[in-house]
Structure 1
Amino acid sequence: MESFINKNWLIKNKTGEYLYHEVAADLPIIDYHNHLNPHHIAENKQFANLTELWIEHDPYKHRAMRINGIPENGITGSVSDFEKYQNWVSTIPKTLGNPLFHWSFLELKRIFDIDEMLSLKNAETIWETCNHKLQQEEFRTCSLIQKWKAEMLITSDDLLDNLESHKKIAYSSNEVKVLPSLRADSILDFGNPNYLDWIKKLEFEVNLTISGLSEFKEAIKIRLDYFAENGCLFADHALDSGFSFRSIEEKEAELLFRSIIQSQPMESKDIVKLNSFMLSYLGEEYGRRGWIMQLHMGAQRNTSSRLRKLVGPAGGFASIGKACDINSLTLFLDSLDKNGLLPETILYTLNPADNAALASLTGSFAEDGVVGKIQFGPAWWYNDHYAGIRKHLNDISSYGLLSTFIGMTTDSRSILSLSRHEYFRRILCDQIGGWMEEGKLPKDMVLLEQLIKDISYMNIKNKILKREKIWQE
């Protein structure tokens, strides 16, 4: 049987084939937003078996197995790794039409050189073959990353993370640059009953007693400076389904924050106000440092409380939430822009109904001399499938400038998810090649080659180089 992942897989026109093989395929990868474990990279972890590498850290697969009726104990529970692997193998044929089907075979082929269809008939043989390779030096974490031609990985890190792994990587001989980014959600988690415990940890880290808003802001500044000293260039916020922004003065924010410190009950509208004030404060701090701000919107994370209790908040059972409150989003961005402190920003949405609105916002807060200041981020999470990527490319082309788009990122916990860059590039080249052959674009290969190179690599590369230069100065 002919290989499923063949040379021109997903590419249906000659121009697209040329653009992929001659331009996109060999470009390095900059994965500017992921949840990889930096400790695994620092220690150059050797994975014990295929489950530990391929399944354990991938909530996409966990979600598919749940839909397929696999008991939770057979997904994240106490059964053996081989049983979990078999449960995934039995689920793969049921994922036809889902990007997991594509990604799974792409990952097996690119990393393990396995071209055959994985099934229960050959599952044990492939398990043994992959596990044997994983014990070899060239299949440790750093080598696996290099197999994808990765040049830079940017992880997601809490304000209180010590970043010791990043320091170790920076002083190692690792060819891949690994930088931290700030995942700032814990700062704004005012409704969490354990928030005061987090405040105490923050006090310990910065050696400062936090009795009011001014000390809180100072403590955050200290940690932001620490992140900057360790190469941080990005900050990230989850503005989930129901995000609302209300502008307030600092005096009111001070009173609200003291209520938090004093464990006084707060109404939800007051939490929204305090959240809005601190979000603006953080955005200004990012702007002062020249960081890029990432806003992830449209996720409904609170679904099954039963599953959340079983496997934690990142277990793969969130869903698409309601459309973004564009008025609140623009009020937030404008609160920064009118003070000249709006950082370059990437907007992601889980709800495709927001595509046109966010793509059009890329032209609403432009700045002299800054290319693509506001980005409509790549097709994210439940949208990073074949149709979702094509829709995203159509929407950003129609409402913004495709040429300034910063390309794909994985947003994943799995090293093998770097396969999504090849997946994206194949779809991109097919789309651009198709447009040319349909007469929608000129037959100017120099122009098209540059477009592919910029989207796949150069646009994000240039933004990062610009920030590194600012910090060095």
Structure 2
Amino acid sequence: MYITEDFLLHSEAAVKLYHNYAKLQPVFDYHCHLSPKDIAEDRQFENLFQIWIDGDHYKYRAMRANGINEKFITGNATDYEKFLKWAETVPFTLRNPLYHWTHLELKNYFGITTLLNSDTAESIYNHCSDLLKKPEYSIKNLLRRMNVKMIGTTDDPTDDLLYHKQIRDQNFEIAVLPTFRPDKATEIEKGEVFINWIKKLETVVGFAITTYQLVLKALLERHDYFHQLGCRVSDHGHSNFYGETYTDSEIDVIFKKGLKGESVSVLEINKYKSAILFDLALMNKTKSWVQQFHIGAIRNNNLKMFNTLGSDQGYDSIGDTNRAESMRTFFGKLSDSDGLAKTIVYNLNPSDSEMVASMLGNFNDSDCVGKMQYGAAWWFLDQKQGIENQLNVLSNFGLLSRFVGMVTDSRSFLSYSRHEYFRRILCNVLGNEIQNGELPNDYELIGCLVENICYKNAANYFKT
């Protein structure tokens, strides 16, 4: 058996920490991209491809690197044909986190302990697809199986949150709450796409949006609406922070230019983003929300494939931008205005890790413990080395004991093994240091730390 009970646990102390403390904690998944519609309808997936591979850009990238034709990735091949190409690729993912995730997921959800490859593909596909048709494999039961207590989805301000209402009315015992993701309101550089989104926002709020102040009015209405339905978190995905100086009149002129489809300069774009992100942050503070910033991605790098397939298809990567000054300005202005909410920053570029963690430490205050969070290893860094590095940076520049822990950041309902993956790595790091005498041999002390990071810190941090 490859995935044993002590997988990734390389000391007696690590084994004790994982099995006696980490493993027992529920999952508080405060950031993901799961479909609230699928949860509300308690969807049953027809086969293993649909729940496991469809839409997974991690797997798409691996298959492309393995020379698989796009027909079998995003093309018109059958579900089974696409699965066979993924199974063909899996043996070549050795030392990629996908190899770990694949076999953790097969074991945790389906009880499969054999390795996935071309020879085992048919039997694994048939076995899992048969199980998925059973009631215990409905979405809600899969979430129960993994001891999930909270799910934070990612939602556009124009969303009516219909499915969140349905979930609430169903009295589902797992909290499924919306997250306010207003990125499209900030993307003035996208021309017609931006204009069309503003038109959609106009339809939702029921009034014309002709000035910047009316944009803010509309966003505040939606912010209020989300709050009424349980939202307590915003999320912002940008390549950088923005800290340009501006006047209100400047921003209104820039907005009107963008609304007319006129060209806006790089400086004007940065001024607009500086203004709207600042104003959105003030809304978050007013309602005692937590705000998340996912920083450092450079997206849609293959223009040919973006024009063919659209976004989120596996053509994004780590960006390289100077962030220190803009971070200092952005958070400094909010702090000066007494408008800085609880904040989590996820950093994608490992060369910026120490800078980001040290910068965030400048803005902690007595509002709460761990107010400014250096977020979990994200996206390309969501692997063993990346997780270890994130834990080490956080420990060296802040308080690991106040860390709010892991998120799935996933679109897959089989992704909750990533919490287990993180917990095993966390316990291995701490266990090795106990064994080496770098931490005290005190399981009550270190075990409490583990429990807090795995669940309790997040549960407390997201209370309002």
1:341-360 matches, within 5 Å, as: 341-360=339-358
Which residue, out of 88, 92, 95, partners 1:94?
92
Counterpart in the other structure of 1:211: 210
| Secondary structure of 2:230's aligned partner | coil
Once the two structures are TM-superposed, the CA of residue 361 in structure 1 deviates from its matched residue by: 2.3
Question: Kindly tell me: are residues 369 and 237 of structure 1, through their superposed partners in 2, closer, same or farther at Cα, counting changes over 3 Å?
Answer: closer
- The offset of 1:63, in angstroms, is 0.9
Please report how far the alpha carbon of residue 388 of structure 1 lies from its aligned counterpart in structure 2 after TM superposition: 0.8
Classify the secondary structure of the residue corresponding to 2:458.
Answer: helix
TM-score norm. by structure 2 comes to 0.98
| Residue 43 of structure 1 pairs with residue 41 of structure 2 | yes
The 1-side partners of 2:104 and 2:453 are apart by 22
Structure 1 outlier segments of 4+, above 4 Å = none
1:105 corresponds to which letter in structure 2? H
For residue 27 of structure 1, what is the amino acid of its counterpart? Q
- In structure 1, what is the Cα distance between the partners aligned to 2:316 and 2:184? 18
Which residue, out of 123, 146, 149, partners 1:148? 146
Matches of 1:450 and 1:231, distance apart in 2: 29
CA contact (8 A) 2:105 2:417 kept: yes
Match of 1:436 in 2: 434
Whether 1:56 aligns to 2:54 is yes
Q: CA deviation at 1:310?
A: 2.5
2:238 alignment partner in structure 1: 239
- Using a 3 Å threshold, how does the CA distance of structure 1 residues 243 and 288 change in structure 2: closer, same or farther? closer
Deviation at 1:116, TM superposition (A): 0.7
Spell out, residue by residue over 1:218-247, the C-alpha distance to the aligned partner (whole angstroms, 9 max, x if none).
Answer: 11110110111111111111121x654302
Farther off after superposition, 258-267 or 85-94: 258-267
Q: Which residue of 2 aligns with 1:261?
A: 259
Match of 1:222 in 2: 221
- Structure 2 CA distance, aligned partners of 1:352 and 1:184? 26
CA contact (8 A) 2:318 2:348 kept: yes
Contact 2:110 2:128 (C-alpha < 8 Å) held by counterparts: yes
Q: Does residue 455 of the first structure (1) align with residue 438 of the second (2)? A: no
Contact 1:24 1:456 in 2 (8 A): yes
Residues 381-409 of structure 1, C-alpha deviation per residue, up to 9 Å, x if partnerless?
A: 01011111111111111111100111100
Q: How does 1:234-383 map to 2 (within 5 A)?
A: 234-240=233-239, 244-383=242-381
Report if the CA contact (8 A) 1:362-1:373 is conserved: no
Q: TM-score, normalised by structure 1?
A: 0.96
Partner secondary structure for residue 296 of structure 1: strand
Tell me how far 1:410 sits from its aligned partner: 1.0
From the superposition, tell whether residues 335 and 369 of structure 1 become closer, same or farther in structure 2 (CA, over 3 Å): closer
C-alpha displacement at 1:302, in angstroms?
A: 3.0
1:169 to 156, 159, 167: 167
Provide the C-alpha distance between the structure 1 equivalents of 2:87 and 2:210, rounded to a whole number of angstroms.
Answer: 54
- Does the 8 Å CA contact 1:297/1:324 hold for their aligned counterparts? no
1:34 aligns to 2:32 (yes or no): yes
The residue aligned with 1:80 is 78
Matched positions, count: 463
Residues 34, 413 of structure 2: 8 Å contact kept: yes
Kindly indicate whether the alpha-carbon contact (under 8 Å) linking 1:350 and 1:381 is maintained by their aligned counterparts in 2.
Answer: yes
Shift of 1:121: 1.2
CA shift digits 1:187-207 (9 cap, x unpaired): 101011222221111111111
Question: 1:65 and 2:68 equivalent?
Answer: no
Q: Given residue 10 of structure 1, which amino acid in structure 2 is its aligned partner?
A: L
> Partner letter of residue 138 of structure 1?
E
Deviates more, 1:185-194 or 1:251-260: 251-260
Cα distance between partner residues in 2 of 1:252 and 1:95: 51
Match for 1:117 among 115, 118, 140?
115
In structure 2, how many angstroms separate the alpha carbons of the residues matched to 1:100 and 1:461? 28
Q: Which moved more, 1:305-314 or 1:126-135?
A: 305-314
Q: Aligned-pair distance for 1:312?
A: 1.7
Structure 2 CA distance for aligned equivalents of residues 287 and 83 of structure 1: 49
Amino acid at match of 1:201: K
* Match in the other structure for 1:130: 128
1:396 aligns with 2:394: yes
Output the CA distance in 2 between the equivalents of 1:71 and 1:308: 17
The whole-number CA distance in structure 2 between the counterparts of 1:323 and 1:198 is 27
Gaps of 5+ in 2: none
CA displacement 1:48-92 (0-9 Å, x = unmatched): 100001000211111110111111111011000000000000000
Cα distance in 2 for residues equivalent to 1:244 and 1:169: 36
Distance in structure 1 (CA, Å) of the matches to 2:309 and 2:363: 40
SS in 2 for 1:238: strand
- Counterpart residue number, 1:470: none
| SS state at 1:363 partner | helix
Displacement of 1:324 in angstroms is 4.4
Q: CA deviation at 1:180?
A: 0.4
Q: Please give the secondary structure, in 2, of the residue aligned with 1:424.
A: helix
- In 1, are the aligned partners of 2:191 and 2:258 still within 8 Å (CA)? no
CA contact (8 A) 1:345 1:373 kept: yes
Contact 1:297 1:349 in 2 (8 A): yes
- Any conservation in 1 of the 2:324–2:359 contact (CA below 8 Å)? no
Look up the equivalent residue of 1:239 and give its one-letter code. H
Q: For structure 1, which segment, 167-176 or 420-429, has the greater mean C-alpha deviation from structure 2 after superposition?
A: 167-176
Give the whole-Å Cα distance in 2 for the aligned partners of 1:378 and 1:263.
Answer: 38
Provide the rounded CA distance (Å) in 2 between the counterparts of 1:78 and 1:158.
29
Between stretches 206-215 and 176-185, larger displacement belongs to: 206-215
Secondary structure at the residue paired with 2:28?
strand
Q: State the distance in 1 between where 2:212 and 2:376 align.
A: 36
Tell me whether 257-266 or 272-281 shows the greater mean CA deviation: 257-266
Give the residue type in structure 2 aligned to 1:148. M
CA RMSD in angstroms, aligned pairs only? 1.1
Separation (CA, whole Å) in 2 of partners of 1:243 and 1:358? 11
Task: Give 3-state SS (helix, strand or coil) of 2:209's partner.
Answer: coil
> Alignment partner of 1:310: what SS?
helix
Contact 2:40 2:163 in 1 (8 A): yes
Q: What stretches of structure 1 of length at least 5 have no aligned partner?
A: 468-473
Residue 369 of structure 1 deviates from its aligned partner by 4.5
Q: CA offsets per residue over residues 316-364 of structure 1, 9 Å max, x none?
A: 1211110441110111111111010101111111111111111212320
- Deviation of 1:22 (Å): 0.7
